[in-house]
Amino acid sequence: MAGKQETKTTQGAGGELHQQAGGGTKEPVLTTDQGIPVSDNQNSLKSGARGPTLLEDFVLREKIFHFDHERIPERIVHARGSAAHGFFEVYEPLASLTKADLFQRKGERTPVFVRFSTVAGGAGSVDTPRDVRGFAVKFYTKTGNWDLVGNNIPVFFIQDAMKFPDLVHAVKMEADSGFPQAASAHDTFWDWASLMPESTHMLMWAMSDRTLPRSFRMMEGFGVHTFKLVNEKGKETFVKFHWKPKLGLQSTVWEETLKLQAADNDYHRRDLREAIDAKNFPEWELGIQTFDQAFADKQPYDVLDATKLIPEEQIPVRRIGRLVLDRNPDNHFAENEQVAFCPANIVPGIDFSNDPLLQGRLFSYLDTQKSRLGTANFHQLPINAPKCPMANFQRDGQMQMRVPTGRANYEPNSLASQGEEGGPRESPVGFATAPGRSDRDEQGDKLRVRPELFADHFSQARMFWKSLTDNERAHLASAFVFELAKVNLDNVQARMVGRLRNVDEGLAKRVADGLGIALPAKLRAAKEPIEMKPSPALSIQKNMLATLKGRKVGLLFAEGSNGGEIDRMAKQVEKAGGTVFLVAPKLHGTKLDNGKELKADGQLAASPSQLFDAVAIILSAKGTQLLLKEGAAVQFVMDAFGHLKAIGHSEAARPLLDKAGVVPDEGVTGLTAAFLDAAAKRFFAREPSVRTLA
């Protein structure tokens, strides 16, 4: 973290407080909405360094309260969602671990409602940006609703809920311009991220292919936080929750996802709905990692730190049940939009840990859902307004009567050093809680601090990098280059790359080379990272399933195509568990070699190859000559090859492949059994020949 500037506080003629930074500039003092100066806007008030967050923390409560009411009527984050009904079936009784009723009887099924979502974009954005995906499950148990509200990534950007408004302000559309939508590749996000070393591990995941999922059906889910299981005897066991997809992990590649946004804005939503309609019910297994305090005390990281995970090689994930989604919503608004998830919704046998990020969520979610149509700006009415200066980064909301200027609505920020408005700063004379003891003296004084191990921001980020394949590392480094290339603020690129040197020197050099800048000085780590063993479970490519189940093959045909070959290929793909989508230049009227007409499922220009996991091209010599003049046909083949997919083709189609620049490799086959094997894979060895990666 950057060091704080020396400050001097002065009083204006009207009694207002101003904080003068070392550079001689005057900045307003950071206050609450009631004008009370704030001394620490980084850490929530706790009973001891690792104790629970205290409800009396009015600075935290007001900050998150205001933040929760900023967007009307959609959710502040996770606005764009897709959902389905289903059930959870437990494999075996877990009475030794928990008294939770849903885990007591083998084979018992509990109804569920599941919502998947993107984080940064609005409700009207697209399905396929580079973004974290929400994975929220509501269990309708016999003893009440249990909401397991998580993401498709096991860690998070921040360690303390106090920083959540700043994270979202930074990644959302910039305050002065209103863009970009659903993207982190811009100034304010990377300005904030480069000043927040604790975000490094999450940034590694965010820049990896984990944020480019092929389908909701093919991504993992995580509870993120450490929770507790409690049995009838009161014994507590720490637990982390995992969702493991039965179809295995699968992602897209960057160029493919860009074209998917143009081809189908609702790609993931449509994929989920169509799979359920076709009775190909999506399925996951619920897994748990359980451990006690003795294990936690031995680790080089703090298990209550949401920026850390427990490697599966250290504690294997125990599969305890399955989740099946078998019914689509009847009404999008009534079910998907109105469902209210809250991590505070738990049932007997499940409990919270003192994770400070989780503690803040327990307040925030309920407050958000209850007040999505209300206002947080009542303090601006004259009767409620403070008579002293009021300045903070809370923004927007219904009945906003101010007109804030500039784009600084988050902190820390370095905008003031760029000649822009930087906003208010913490004050040494701000409110500070007296260090009184709690009822349980052994928990210590009330403190705004973090445990020492929370300062290790890079060890697990390094472990994640070491766990990836060379190809995944190239994707990750290239993603950093793409995002940072969008940043126009001076010093942010160098600051971020300097931070990455704490993760891996090779990664930092690749990103610097991709940006065309000199390798900057390494930024000092608050706590030096340690070497951890690679965790193969963190890699998508190491965990992909070579299967056609759940995959879709696009079959391109035209005038004179071999009808028998088309029928044979379709049957073989379906026998292997996949589906075939017929593509032709025209929907109707295409005659095959046997004189019969075959209706296509999609017209060529509207059905690009990025919609499919593999393509089969069954053309006659005449059909090939016609398609050589069709730009959409050439692009269909070119994209399939560029997106590392299998291409099966008739011999007559070879000229079309040549024109599309296809170089034969093991993923380019004839219409044989070899194609069925290839169609279940991606061919990452091809990538260096089709694009330049960092």
Q: What is the DSSP string of 394-417?
A: ----TT------SS--SSS--GGG
Active-site annotation holder among 69, 78, 169, 643: 78
With tokens 């929760």, the residue in question is 68
Low-confidence residues of the chain: pLDDT under 70: 1-25, 70-72, 366, 369-388, 397-399, 401, 429-444, 446
What are the structural domains of the chain? 1-72+159-195+373-434 (4.10.91.20), 75-155+197-370 (2.40.180.10), 455-542 (1.20.1370.20), 546-689 (3.40.50.880)
CA distance 484 to 100: 46
CA distance 272 to 330: 14
Burial tier of 491 (Cβ tally within 10 Å: 0-12, 13-18, 19+)? middle
Burial tier of 664 (Cβ tally within 10 Å: 0-12, 13-18, 19+)? exposed
User: What was the pLDDT predicted at 444?
Assistant: 67
Is 409 within 8 Å of 169 (Cβ atoms)?
yes
Q: In the beta sheet, which residues pair with residue 288?
A: 241, 318
145 among known catalytic residues: no
Length of the chain: 694
CA dihedral of 24, 28, 30, 34, whole degrees rounded to 10: 160
Q: Are strands 646-649 and 614-617 parallel, antiparallel or unpaired?
A: parallel
Active-site annotation holder among 41, 43, 69, 151: 151
CA distance 421 to 361: 30
User: What was the pLDDT predicted at 427?
Assistant: 76
pTM for this model (two decimals): 0.80
78 among known catalytic residues: yes
CA distance 31 to 379: 13
User: What was the pLDDT predicted at 379?
Assistant: 54
DSSP tag of 380: G
Helices (H), 543-630: 563-575, 621-627
User: What was the pLDDT predicted at 456?
Assistant: 96
DSSP three-state, residue 147:
strand
**Considering only CA atoms, which of 424, 422, 420, 375 is closest in space to residue 401?**
375
DSSP three-state, residue 15:
coil
One-letter amino acid at 677 equals D
CA distance 493 to 508: 11
